[in-house]
Homo-oligomer: A and B are copies of this chain.
């Protein structure tokens, strides 16, 4: 079992079958066994480039909504690694596949993509840091969980690069750090038994909605 924190475990459990629909989606299984078509992977990569730009904006919003310097530092470090490392990696992966950075920038954003990132940003603007973190969690931690599982359990080297990125040590450390940020931010605001607070239900809903939007993102990748 991963060690991404107590809140994540609780939200993940409460999301019921949704979670498995996301982390064991056909798209993921095809990444593992190498059956995913190149066109589906490239469509995904291109949309994910646009996704990461807006996801970075959401993490930066987290800095503006932090109450402690530690919260600020973790959010800022995540923005930094997204903007300078993960996006760069996407540009490189796409270049390998013959997609120029200029193509990425001018790609049309799909509705499933737009819905997801703007939902996360709105969670932050309409609520506090916890609303934002609950909406950010499924992507960050779900990819960590998928990466970890696939690393020890894939039957093709076709998408090795992707699997190593999210299953690798660096990304796993990001997940642990983000999980701690969430647990600490929740404890600071709602105490040590946050499930007793009415807000907990709302946070769980945010987590579930973002998980649904993750499923929609995989669907988009597979759609023609």
Contact = CB atoms under 8 A, between A and B. Distances in A.
A126 interface: yes
Contacts of A79: 60, 63, 76, 79
Interface in A14-55: 53
Interface in A170-189: 187-189
Given A57-B66, A60-B61, A128 B125 contact: no
A127 B128 CA distance: 4
Contacts of A126: 57, 64-65, 128
A99 interface: no
Interface of A: 53, 56-58, 60-67, 69, 72-73, 75-77, 79-80, 83-84, 87, 105, 111-112, 114-115, 118-119, 121-122, 125-128, 131, 187-191, 196-199, 202, 213, 216
